[in-house]
Structure 1
Amino acid sequence: MDHTDPEKKRERSSSSGSRPDYAHHDRAGSPEHQDVARQRLGVSQKLANPLEGLSPERLAAMGEEYARLAGLTSDEDLRAFRLGAMIAGDQKNRYDTIPDLTDREREVLERETTHKWSNPRMLYWVIAICSLCAAVQGMDETVVNGAQIFYKVHFGIGSTSQRDTWLVGLVNGAPYLCCAVVGCWITDPMNRYFGRRGTVFISCLISALACFWQAFTNNWYHMFIARFFLGFGIGPKSATTPIFAAECSPPRLRGALVMQWQVWTAFGIMLGYVADLAFYPVPDRGIALGLNWRLMMGSAMIPAVVVCALAYVCPESPRWYLTKNRHRDAFASVCQLRYEKVQAARDLFYTHTLLQAEKEAMSMGSSTNRLKELFTIRRNRNALVASEIVMFLQQFCGVNIIAYFSSEIFRTAGYSEVSALAASLGFGVINFLFALPAFYTIDTFGRRNLLLTTFPLMAIFMLFTGFSFWIPESSPAHIGCIALGIYLFGMVYSPGEGPVPFTYSAEAYPLYIRPIGMSLATATTWFFNFILAVTWPSMLTAFRPQGGFGWYAAWNVIGFFLVLLFVPETKEKTLEELDGVFDVPLRNHAAYGMKQVGYFWQRYVFRRRDAVKPVVPVSGGMEWREKEVVRDKVGDRDGSGRV
């Protein structure tokens, strides 16, 4: 998920005033390789703000030139693009310096800042479609939670033998295996040929058909094939829908609207638990191998069918039209998403200019070279390491053993079947409600701080849940403590490791290499999702719940140290600042992380106000130095954090 706006957010110039020294990206590299690195990252700087430094007169001329090129030659359209280009180039939003704007246009432009949620209904219609897609995703993932209680018995894989536990895990993980090896990698060609709407329609159609198919299976390998096919719907949909929302949203609202994916996926997860509980008491009615689990598996097709019916009622992404040189269609589309033509012209002109800069970046070598540069350029390699860490840990923190197997976990704890489904619904409700604060926490506390705070808590609650299985089953505390541990885990996961990984990955990579980096990041999270799903039933049998939960508690502890040592902060960093932060040897950042621990203990445990706060290591002559004394806000005279 991409919470921030990585294109607009980094338009500001760096406050540090020191550019990274790219000559030291890899000292072992050839001069030619270093020149390519400098050129790549120079283009990435240009991508941050392609209109920087242009005069209003030049911007107006460029806007009119683009309008004529696009075939938008009416006086009204030419005026809109002249003014729109001037507004796009003025990052300080000084509308009073543009005398030709009408009072209505000034009012609308001002309301973008003062009332950012005031937008045309069509924009919210697009977001509603994207939110429904997220609900489809959530239901696809969790209806199996209750259904497996029944179908694994009917399919003859319900015993605790090694063969059966692995088959249960394989069937549950089939969609994520498909996503990792195929689904994520067909997203780009599907978007290229069918557009955002087309990809959403096709992926939801596949999801609907696969859910219908699952309801009519009669053996485990037939269910495996149907669920593997479901991955062709999950993979492209999960990658395309946030992009669709981002490309239609105004810049100031983009982060919040893109975050809808995380929130409504959690809502869909909750709906999956609701469906499991609602269809549990349905009798077989003479249906071979049972009816209730078939209704559970098939129920996820309902929101998918709704999306298919409504997808083409909303406009296509203007950016996608631009990639096809359909400029008139792009303008017509963005006009439906903005109140005034000046707004539409501004956003379309800026997007067109940005696309030209991206083409320049993408023309520099083949995609194979760009993939190689993920590993050979230190700035990219460090971003890759950090992104892969948070993506891997999104799965190995253990959240999806609860999402996919909570009903089985609660049954193991001594719950009845219906009570286990009800307890699973409680986890779904908590997962949804505590995802809502992510709108605030992710940009207030920062990505790194959220992870460093929540990983220890997740480890504690995971360990607490596992140890609760040692409480005698005759005691009411046995069931109560297990449920409490799972719910507390959900509370700290949802605003932390839930939304951070996709947001972080979208920010960490330079723009020119971001598509490849995000494809790899998405494939990583789905691959380890599959590993978790396929191994948990066997782990539960071999290690018992105490060992299984202890295993993932240990990974949360490991996750804390991996984040501490190798994951820099990206919140509110400009592109130049991110280049400097990531272009540092990992050993320097690891040393910084360890000094952070020392500062924390001295300042907050031993209450020493003269504790020296470490400074983030940055390349370009600022590597690893500390101020003599940096006082915490509590100890500052003016509370500003300055000495």
Structure 2
Amino acid sequence: MAQEDKRGRSSSPGSQTEFAHHERPSTADYHGHNYSAKERLGASQRLANPLAGLSPERLGAMGEDYARLAGLTSEEDMRAFRLGAMIAGDQTQYDSIPDLTAREREVLVRETTHKWSNPRMLYWVIGMDETVVNGAQIFYKEVFGIGTDSERDTWLVGLVNGAPYLCCAVISCWLTDPMNRIFGRRGTIFISCLISALACFWQAFTNTWWHMFIARFFLGFGIGPKSATTPVFAAECSPPKLRGALVMQWQMWTAFGIMVGYIADLAFYFVPDHGIEQGLNWRLMMGSAMIPAVVVCLFAYVCPESPRWYLTKDRHRDAFASVCKLRFEKVQAARDLFYTHTLLQAEHQTMSTGAASRIKELFTIRRNRNAMVASEIVMFMQQFCGVNVIAYFSSEIFREAGYSNVSALAASLGFGVINWLFALPAFYTIDTFGRRNLLLTTFPLMALFMFFTGFSFWIPADSPAHIACIALGIYLFGMVYSPGEGPVPFTYSAEAYPLYIRPIGMSLATATTWFFNFVLAVTWPSMLTAFKPQGAFGWYGGWNIIGFFLVLLFVPETKEKTLEELDGVFDVPLRRQAAYGVRQAGYFWRRYVFRRSVEKPVLPSEEVMDGGYTREKEADSSIALDIQGPGHT
């Protein structure tokens, strides 16, 4: 049997034949070569299909070599990796692999035809959030003496409500990468949820506004790393056909948590004080938010760790054990682990080309800069579309409209239910209708319903239409937000950046959305007082119009694009992307409004390819990093 070194790798003679070239370059190698932008993009493009062109025999031999490298030398494991590597090279030609059993063929075909048919363990990797501040603030702002309409009090209410998101933007989101490296995905989620649970418990015992601010700021240390890690964890554990749907579940379960928070607000409203100083009901509301976090803590280690994280630690045995829990058959698990290992080696080489200057290259390389511009637009607009002023302040908004406290909480619950239910269609539309099309369709509707809600406050308060129209506008806004600006930003940002710069890009994207979440929370009470509801809702209605044009001009479509194609999509001058947006708007107007037969505009990435981008990529192939090593064809 092969001997293992201290990192768990096989030291048998045959183990070095195929994977010796995968050893990570030293730090000196990383920084000792002045790689050009073309070399970096060329290396990134190799990640699209690193096994292309290899014969089944060569792939099978590579799979067996990897099994030896991992110390998985039993006959069953060697067979699984030999067949898994052959499947990884060609994901559909199962008939050309005679050694597969009928059961294995059935499972491989079914994962394509029934993408939701997976082991139940796979679905443990999705998290949930809860918000209860919406209803609790009705009480604690009065108890803490900040419940008047004075300028000081309105700013303090906003500051207290926005405290967690300020922490996320300036500190906790930037802790995600080191926490993931040290504690892994499960460990980061466990620690984040533990912090969230303790902070929620702490909130229930506060007795001043500044004490509540401190407790809620501490809550941000749980929200930030969890919000960045959970989508990554889901993506790394998911099969390719299901990855997009699982990544967007972060937003869906956040909507579900908001709904649960509204239920808690309503359930604890009538709880008497029982002699508790400053009231008991709002304390139960704030403290109840710890329950989902505690549940996640209890079950965090029921699900396996990310196999990809294990591979970064050279823990190949653990990685295989983990992925086996997420797939029906060992052949599936071996295929995915072998392919992930191959991609990870390519990623190491790709990341090494810019390890010393990735932050600089986020701005100086056009492909990265354009991805950042598009990602920042969708993340910024996720907040400035105005959704969270409703999520956090809907009870106050409904009270302003004339509802009683109980009726305001019940109406807020209605928004929560709608926000969650209408996120469900995005499972289908995000990968069929497309990210860009979803945003271009929903932004005008969100603007319309924001204006409708604000202008409804001009209806006389004694008219039944006053309350009915305000509630209708808020509910209609939730219906169009949930399948559009709800799930798209996190999914879009996760796929826009090339792999070597993705950790920095995602940290920036997450920090952006939480920062502007804080801006909304801290400014809304003062805005409502200064602008009145008509002006406050009109302000965010106007931002939705701006968001439509920003997406039209600067956010390209990424649906069903490979990594290689995304390099072409984003490596286009912004002026050319903007010109395409103008042409697309003109085409839509002439084709669907005036019913004329007009030619559909050509995508700017296709224009670039026609103009020489393909030849440039062919030239780059001579310097692209060869992850297959000598002797491969």
- TM-score, reference length from structure 1: 0.88
1:591 equivalent in structure 2: 579
TM superposition shift of 1:623:
6.1
Q: Is 1:186 paired with 2:175?
A: yes
Q: Which of the numbers 203, 221, 226 marks the counterpart of 1:232?
A: 221
Q: Is 1:57 paired with 2:57?
A: yes
Q: Is 1:401 paired with 2:411?
A: no
Q: After superposition, where does 1:90-101 map in structure 2 within 5 Å?
A: 90-91=90-91, 93-101=92-100
Residues 462-498 of structure 1: per-residue CA shift (max 9 Å, x gap): 0010101111101111111100100000000000011
Q: After superposition, where does 1:154-233 map in structure 2 within 5 Å?
A: 154-233=143-222
Q: Which of the numbers 523, 526, 550 marks the counterpart of 1:535?
A: 523
C-alpha distance in 1 between matches for 2:397 and 2:208: 24
1:449 equivalent in structure 2: 437
1:18 equivalent in structure 2: none
Equivalent pair of 2:351/2:499 in contact (CA under 8 Å): no
Q: Is 1:256 paired with 2:245?
A: yes
TM superposition shift of 1:62:
1.0
1:318 equivalent in structure 2: 307
Q: Is 1:272 paired with 2:261?
A: yes
1:341 equivalent in structure 2: 330
User: Tell me, which stretches of 5 or more residues in structure 1 are unaligned?
Assistant: 1-31, 625-643
Residues 415-450 of structure 1: per-residue CA shift (max 9 Å, x gap): 110110000000000000100000111112111111
2:320 equivalent in structure 1: 331
TM superposition shift of 1:574:
2.6
TM superposition shift of 1:323:
0.9
- TM-score, reference length from structure 2: 0.89
Q: After superposition, where does 1:135-154 map in structure 2 within 5 Å?
A: 137=129, 139=130, 142-154=131-143
Equivalent pair of 1:205/1:233 in contact (CA under 8 Å): yes
TM superposition shift of 1:383:
1.2
C-alpha distance in 1 between matches for 2:341 and 2:556: 32
C-alpha distance in 2 between matches for 1:538 and 1:260: 33
Farther-moved stretch of structure 1 (196-205 vs 145-154): 196-205
Q: Is 1:576 paired with 2:575?
A: no
Residues 599-626 of structure 1: per-residue CA shift (max 9 Å, x gap): 22222222212x23321222535369xx
TM superposition shift of 1:114:
2.7
C-alpha distance in 1 between matches for 2:551 and 2:201: 41
C-alpha distance in 1 between matches for 2:447 and 2:120: 44
C-alpha distance in 2 between matches for 1:308 and 1:417: 34
C-alpha distance in 1 between matches for 2:571 and 2:418: 39
2:601 equivalent in structure 1: 614
Farther-moved stretch of structure 1 (452-461 vs 252-261): 252-261
Residues 19-65 of structure 1: per-residue CA shift (max 9 Å, x gap): xxxxxxxxxxxxx99x6111111111111222122111111111111
SS in 1 for 2:546: helix
1:458 equivalent in structure 2: 446
User: Tell me, which stretches of 5 or more residues in structure 2 are unaligned?
Assistant: 1-32, 613-633
C-alpha distance in 1 between matches for 2:73 and 2:548: 58
Q: Which amino acid aligns with 2:472?
A: L
Number of residue-to-residue matches in the alignment: 579
TM superposition shift of 1:260:
2.2
SS in 1 for 2:142: helix
Q: After superposition, where does 1:629-640 map in structure 2 within 5 Å?
A: none
2:411 equivalent in structure 1: 423
* Structure 1 segments of 4+ aligned residues over 4 angstroms from their partners: none
TM superposition shift of 1:586:
1.3
TM superposition shift of 1:115:
2.9
C-alpha distance in 2 between matches for 1:622 and 1:396: 38
Farther-moved stretch of structure 1 (439-448 vs 533-542): 439-448
Q: Which amino acid aligns with 1:160?
A: D
117 and 600 in structure 1: CA distance in 2 versus 1, 3 angstrom threshold: closer
TM superposition shift of 1:411:
0.5
TM superposition shift of 1:271:
0.3
SS in 1 for 2:489: helix
C-alpha distance in 1 between matches for 2:465 and 2:440: 30
TM superposition shift of 1:243:
1.6
Farther-moved stretch of structure 1 (35-44 vs 535-544): 35-44
1:26 equivalent in structure 2: none
Farther-moved stretch of structure 1 (43-52 vs 293-302): 43-52
1:499 equivalent in structure 2: 487
TM superposition shift of 1:71:
0.9
TM superposition shift of 1:298:
0.4
C-alpha distance in 2 between matches for 1:121 and 1:293: 37
623 and 225 in structure 1: CA distance in 2 versus 1, 3 angstrom threshold: farther
Q: Which amino acid aligns with 1:293?
A: W
Q: Which amino acid aligns with 1:97?
A: S
1:12 equivalent in structure 2: none
TM superposition shift of 1:591:
1.7
1:296 equivalent in structure 2: 285
Q: Is 1:85 paired with 2:85?
A: yes
336 and 576 in structure 1: CA distance in 2 versus 1, 3 angstrom threshold: closer
Farther-moved stretch of structure 1 (112-121 vs 232-241): 112-121
Residues 133-163 of structure 1: per-residue CA shift (max 9 Å, x gap): 32xx2x1xx3000000000000011111111
2:592 equivalent in structure 1: 604
C-alpha distance in 2 between matches for 1:253 and 1:575: 17
Q: Which amino acid aligns with 2:66?
A: Y
SS in 1 for 2:200: helix
- What value does the CA root-mean-square deviation take over the aligned residues? 1.5
Q: Is 1:107 paired with 2:106?
A: yes
TM superposition shift of 1:502:
1.1
Q: Which amino acid aligns with 1:615?
A: V
Equivalent pair of 2:442/2:481 in contact (CA under 8 Å): yes
C-alpha distance in 1 between matches for 2:343 and 2:556: 27
C-alpha distance in 2 between matches for 1:341 and 1:569: 36
Equivalent pair of 2:454/2:536 in contact (CA under 8 Å): yes
C-alpha distance in 2 between matches for 1:240 and 1:209: 19
Q: Which of the numbers 524, 528, 537 marks the counterpart of 1:549?
A: 537
Q: Is 1:281 paired with 2:280?
A: no
340 and 612 in structure 1: CA distance in 2 versus 1, 3 angstrom threshold: closer
1:361 equivalent in structure 2: 350
1:118 equivalent in structure 2: 117
TM superposition shift of 1:103:
2.2
C-alpha distance in 2 between matches for 1:120 and 1:585: 44
SS in 1 for 2:207: coil
SS in 1 for 2:325: helix
C-alpha distance in 1 between matches for 2:563 and 2:325: 31
C-alpha distance in 2 between matches for 1:254 and 1:598: 34
C-alpha distance in 2 between matches for 1:342 and 1:400: 45
Equivalent pair of 2:395/2:412 in contact (CA under 8 Å): yes
C-alpha distance in 1 between matches for 2:169 and 2:340: 31
TM superposition shift of 1:333:
1.3
Q: Which amino acid aligns with 2:604?
A: P
C-alpha distance in 2 between matches for 1:615 and 1:587: 15
334 and 612 in structure 1: CA distance in 2 versus 1, 3 angstrom threshold: closer
C-alpha distance in 1 between matches for 2:270 and 2:288: 15
Q: Which amino acid aligns with 1:102?
A: T
Residues 210-240 of structure 1: per-residue CA shift (max 9 Å, x gap): 0000000000000000000000111111111
SS in 2 for 1:497: coil
Equivalent pair of 1:178/1:231 in contact (CA under 8 Å): yes
Q: Which amino acid aligns with 1:98?
A: I
C-alpha distance in 2 between matches for 1:601 and 1:326: 56
Residues 499-549 of structure 1: per-residue CA shift (max 9 Å, x gap): 111111122212222221111111110110111111001101111111100
Equivalent pair of 1:617/1:623 in contact (CA under 8 Å): no
C-alpha distance in 2 between matches for 1:601 and 1:82: 55
C-alpha distance in 2 between matches for 1:83 and 1:256: 28
621 and 336 in structure 1: CA distance in 2 versus 1, 3 angstrom threshold: closer
C-alpha distance in 2 between matches for 1:94 and 1:109: 10
Farther-moved stretch of structure 1 (309-318 vs 575-584): 575-584
C-alpha distance in 2 between matches for 1:621 and 1:364: 25
Q: Which amino acid aligns with 1:40?
A: R
TM superposition shift of 1:575:
2.5
